Structure 1
Amino acid sequence: MGSSEDNSLHNEVHTQLAHTYLRLGMLLANECILDDVPASNQGKVYSNVRSKDELKSTMSAGDAFREALFIYESLGLLRKQEAAFSHFQLASFHKGYCLKVLDLEKKHMWPSKGDNKHLKAKWYASLADKHWKKAIDFYGPSTHPVMYINILLEQAALSSDLSKAFHSIAMLEASLLHLLDGRHVVQMGEDCELDKDSTIKSKFWNQLQSLLKTMVSSSLSGVSNRAGASCTSSPAARCWDACKVKDMYLMSLKSTSFSQLHAMYKLWLS
């Protein structure tokens, strides 16, 4: 009896400790800035925070998330959902770093040469993707459709941002494929409970329509043809059919249910 009580107390204490680390990470991540800013530009970045002590405190956000994740995972199935949520928070954290790197490069505050120009951003993007995939292992389309769609929206948004920074057709297509994965929340032709959630439904379709509109514009302006080298250099990339993308865009404007993503995906593969 005593052993059972001790085990229960152990789990509760560690759970509360993990909760504390998670909340700390979320708090600090909101104020997080890069620790890899070149020394010659640190003055510009320091001006955005109140003190160097504040700068140092924000650097512990990632450590706090990882500590929370470690504790949750040590508790096994008991805290599987909390572990998945920690993965989601870590992904968002790395996404923020990735976007910060891209912003610094855009402002010419980040020294870069040749092929190394975007390596840092790609590294943070890969970390974000790794943790999103871990989160989706728990937040599946059938069991947690809202969280599943939110993760897809985050993945698609980052891919879209990377496509703009790298002038990459492959990343733009990756963004579309993330959103088309939303079809897994419902079987073709069936009613979808998620359609009743006006907030997530509106957010999803607005993002998909915006992406397809960008792809249509790129096709019509000849960007795809000018980026032919990118298309042939990567097996994952291919120049899309302008008429097909336009048809998908028109479908998205008329769509009223997530189940219609099945038809859009079928058209994309045709």
Structure 2
Amino acid sequence: MELHSYFKNKKILAGSILLGLILLLMITGFFYLPFDSSQIDVNSKLQGPSLTHLLGTDNLGRDVLSRIMVGIRISLLIGLVVMVFGLITGGLLGSFSGYFGGPADTIIMKFVSTQMAFPGILLALMLVAVFNPNIYVTILALCLMSIPRFTRITRSGFIKYKNSTFVRGAKSRGASDLRIMFIHILPNIVPELIVTATLSFSMSILSESGLSYLGLGVQPPHPSFGRMLNDAQQYIFRNPSGVIFPAVFLIILVLSFNLIGDGISEVNNK
């Protein structure tokens, strides 16, 4: 599939534009923040949008725009770490499981099935019971949650291609199993892995926001979309902008990755 075919897809184009705007806002925050995202000003609390505070302030007088700009960094960082971890760990497990089969496949898939039986929130609660809730525990919980989906996708791809003509040809030329796995088979399932990676990215961001909303994720003073929504919910009628703006940016961020993932899937299936 040629690269230009992807950029002709409307979903990919729309998702890329939305993601580009989010990234532009985040990058701007590295060079200019209107206010310190943790700066408390009780004299300015619960203000609506103004020239001083473009998106208003929260219940502690912190600038909402500044907190969103920093919150985007945290969400994208967590999403990236979780996606890379899931891709590498799940990809390796799925590769060996699908290619070799037998006892290795049985053991790996039992592990994956057992892990999938635990809801993500329950897994996070178990980790919080052992460790204090913080950003590292959040990342650990989400990383563990990401393994099964990558393992299953990679395994199904290796099962599909391991008996193909080009694989038999490589074996007849004396290619090693590792070379066959990662040079001959893996490139054929990269499109499926890219789709899974984009959707995993958005799911990680949404899951982190949910955990932070419940108080199990990113802890103050670090801004998180979930934490911002939790702090603002009791003031929603007095200062609706404190809920609306973080929610809108969270929706745009998640939607951008979902659109890109759906668009790539559509192009691959043509």
| TM-score range for the pair, normalised by the shorter chain length | under 0.3
TM-score by length of 2: 0.26
Larger relative contact order, structure 1 or 2 (CA cutoff 8 Å, min sep 6): 2
